[in-house]
Structure 1
Amino acid sequence: MTSRSGQSVQTLVTGRRGFTGAYLSDVLHAAGHTVVSGSYKDASSADSRDTDFDITSIEQCRRVIDELRPDYIVHLAAISFVGHANDLEFYHVNVLGTLNLLQACEDVGHTPRKILIASSANVYGNVESAAIDEQFPLAPVNHYAASKMAMEAMVRTWSERLPIVITRPFNYTGVGQSERFLVPKIVSHFLKREPVISLGNIDVARDFSDVRFVAQVYGALLESDVAGETFNVCTGQPYSLAQILELCGELTGHKIRVEVNPAFVRKTDVKTLVGSPARLLAQVPTAKPIPFDETLRWMLGVGPSLDAAERN
């Protein structure tokens, strides 16, 4: 793939060394992109594709955007763990860091072909619905979600100046995700054949996607003609933690006892979060959701599991 100037397409991915960024980089490389990365704080790396800069520094953002002049920007870098200890960091990184990237593009006179910015389905809050679409009102119930809602509002003020797409991914998982997150924690306990797992409310239900599907969606949205729109990234199928425990038990033949730890039960926990992928799949019909039992097989190393690229 080449840019309009005849040079290879260059895509800046903030947070490339994070969980999602690693899979997205593979998708973009396969499509002919040269991927360079940025983080929200300085970090050392021997990878020549890495251009580390602090997104909370407008000066560093200007420098990197001016030097690279990327064809595309995918902004993944964020404080994404809901239980993060420093509430102010959610806003400092998620809102101001995003503003710095957009402001830097304007300041140096560079307009990428597309800027994809990852928000979160947590902005919907505790919604009782069989399928949340993009028109649902936003009602965040924690600082992570509130920071993403604020970020979205800020980004929309740039919609006439820059070609931006916002994604609202629902929960997703896969190999390599931190065990701070629930599905990797559960999978790890089954892989180690632990007799007991300590969890919070196992009746909460989420719309879980496979990270390989999410990466394919982001790549497809970059290549699409769409701009100025927001898309749910989801499957439309919820699973409770109780169901996940049962599926893991069936796939591994191992039974595990659940102990409810009150410290893991948050008052602001969203009980059920399931989205409608209708708008997304109408825009990028080649992106096919991966069944969640296949994702669990992949994570558990049990039986065959197709690579996302083989499904498209």
Structure 2
Amino acid sequence: MKKVVLITGITGMVGSHFAHLFEQDGYEVCGVARNSAASRNAAIQDHKVVRCDIMERDALMKIFKKKQPDIVIHMAAQAFNGASWNCEYTTQETNIIGTLNVLYCAKELFDQGKDIKILLACSSAEYGNITPEDCPLVENRLLKPHSPYGVSKVGVEMLGQQYFANYNMKIFLPRMFIHVGTGHPPATAIQNFARQIALVKKGLLADNVIKVGNLETARDFIDVRDGVRAMKILLDKGKPGEPVNICTGLAYKISDVLQMLIEISGVDIKVGHDPDLYRSGDEPLLLGDNTKIAALGFVPEFTLRQTLEAVFADWMSRI
């Protein structure tokens, strides 16, 4: 009998890539998504998706009892750092209470003798106010979250720690740095750049001017295909209850990323700065130490240019 993987947020970028990876490895995959969450990936067939809001604990419990998952990948969230400033209550409620509901349902199966693993989407945003001197960031650094999103993800991780410490459940805590890939909305810098450049390529953007925010920061980007593979390695070989950075250990300046996308597109672009795209408390450098995940055998397969080529091609097909 195949092992069952239940993925919350299965229609999202990370969730859909997790689905593909587990299917390739012979697992039975099912997922949870809200009615309002349109599938961003045609390969996620409707029969694999149960429409349910993670805020509805009783409905979620019915799904857990029916599917009897061996692994739970919890990706459903208000997942955008910048957006969290404008929806603090939604961010905290969805991310903290939603996670509590998932853990509560998983514990019900655990108490009935199910050997279940739970992976919770934690975040580099938990590190918070950092300076270049703090980098590369190691997992034992004091957490000082700056944004509502970062605060919510500390809450997610602490809930995982609580269930691990008190109930001896197998809770895995990947601190995800910025995952980049296909099937993502234009809510992050790279996706926003790629979408606008694709509009220019198709002659749909006036004067070939794209709007950008702060180009002087540098970020540790990881291809989503590498990220989900790293997290599966964590599930297979890592220690429950131990936070682990999911990152490359390399940082790229945003201006260099933009230039790379322009080169990939082959079009002439004019850049205009939009004050609304600047974010409060934008760290000059976000760079992770990937020693822990590398020690488990993870090696990135995709270069940033390969990732950007895939993202740009995705936006050309979506517009």
Fold in common (TM above 0.5): yes
SS in 2 for 1:192: helix
TM-score by length of 2: 0.86
AA aligned to 1:62 is M
For residues 65 and 163 of structure 2, the distance between their equivalents in structure 1, rounded to whole angstroms, comes to 19
**For the structure 1 residues 48 and 251, does the alpha-carbon distance in structure 2 shift closer, same or farther, using more than 3 Å as the test?**
closer
**Contact map agreement 1:205 1:272 (CA 8 A) in 2:** yes
1:101 paired with 2:102, answer yes
1:137 paired with 2:142, answer yes
**Contact map agreement 2:248 2:300 (CA 8 A) in 1:** no
**For the structure 1 residues 199 and 60, does the alpha-carbon distance in structure 2 shift closer, same or farther, using more than 3 Å as the test?**
same
Q: Which residue of 2 aligns with 1:48?
A: 47
SS in 2 for 1:131: coil
How many pairs align? 295
TM-score by length of 1: 0.88
Specify which of 222, 239, 244 is matched with residue 231 of structure 1: 244
**Which region of structure 1 is more displaced relative to structure 2, 7-16 or 129-138?**
129-138
For residues 301 and 282 of structure 2, the distance between their equivalents in structure 1, rounded to whole angstroms, comes to 26
For residues 249 and 69 of structure 1, the distance between their equivalents in structure 2, rounded to whole angstroms, comes to 47
Q: Which residue of 2 aligns with 1:11?
A: 5
- Shift of residue 211, structure 1, vs aligned partner: 0.8
Q: How do 1:58-73 residues align onto structure 2 when only pairs under 5 Å count?
A: 58-73=57-72
User: What is the root-mean-square deviation in Å for CA atoms of aligned residues?
Assistant: 2.1
**Which region of structure 1 is more displaced relative to structure 2, 113-122 or 249-258?**
249-258
SS in 2 for 1:79: coil
**Which region of structure 1 is more displaced relative to structure 2, 213-222 or 12-21?**
213-222
Q: Which residue of 1 aligns with 2:215?
A: 202
**Contact map agreement 1:24 1:218 (CA 8 A) in 2:** no
Q: How do 1:157-236 residues align onto structure 2 when only pairs under 5 Å count?
A: 157-160=162-165, 161=167, 162-193=169-200, 195-224=208-237, 226-236=239-249
- Shift of residue 287, structure 1, vs aligned partner: 4.2
**Contact map agreement 2:197 2:210 (CA 8 A) in 1:** no
AA aligned to 1:64 is I
- Shift of residue 289, structure 1, vs aligned partner: 4.4
**For the structure 1 residues 243 and 225, does the alpha-carbon distance in structure 2 shift closer, same or farther, using more than 3 Å as the test?**
closer
Q: Which residue of 2 aligns with 1:305?
A: none
Q: Any unmatched runs of 5+ in structure 2?
A: 40-44, 315-319
**For the structure 1 residues 106 and 174, does the alpha-carbon distance in structure 2 shift closer, same or farther, using more than 3 Å as the test?**
closer
SS in 1 for 2:32: strand
Q: Which residue of 2 aligns with 1:34?
A: 28
Specify which of 112, 116, 121 is matched with residue 118 of structure 1: 121
**For the structure 1 residues 245 and 255, does the alpha-carbon distance in structure 2 shift closer, same or farther, using more than 3 Å as the test?**
farther
- Shift of residue 40, structure 1, vs aligned partner: 5.3
**For the structure 1 residues 198 and 52, does the alpha-carbon distance in structure 2 shift closer, same or farther, using more than 3 Å as the test?**
same
**For the structure 1 residues 66 and 289, does the alpha-carbon distance in structure 2 shift closer, same or farther, using more than 3 Å as the test?**
same
**For the structure 1 residues 115 and 287, does the alpha-carbon distance in structure 2 shift closer, same or farther, using more than 3 Å as the test?**
farther
For residues 213 and 195 of structure 2, the distance between their equivalents in structure 1, rounded to whole angstroms, comes to 17
SS in 1 for 2:163: coil
Deviations 1:150-170 (A, max 9, x none): 121122111132101011111
Percent identity, please: 26
Q: Any unmatched runs of 5+ in structure 1?
A: 1-6, 303-312
**Contact map agreement 2:122 2:157 (CA 8 A) in 1:** yes
Deviations 1:273-301 (A, max 9, x none): 11011101112x14424211121122234
For residues 274 and 298 of structure 2, the distance between their equivalents in structure 1, rounded to whole angstroms, comes to 42
AA aligned to 1:158 is Y
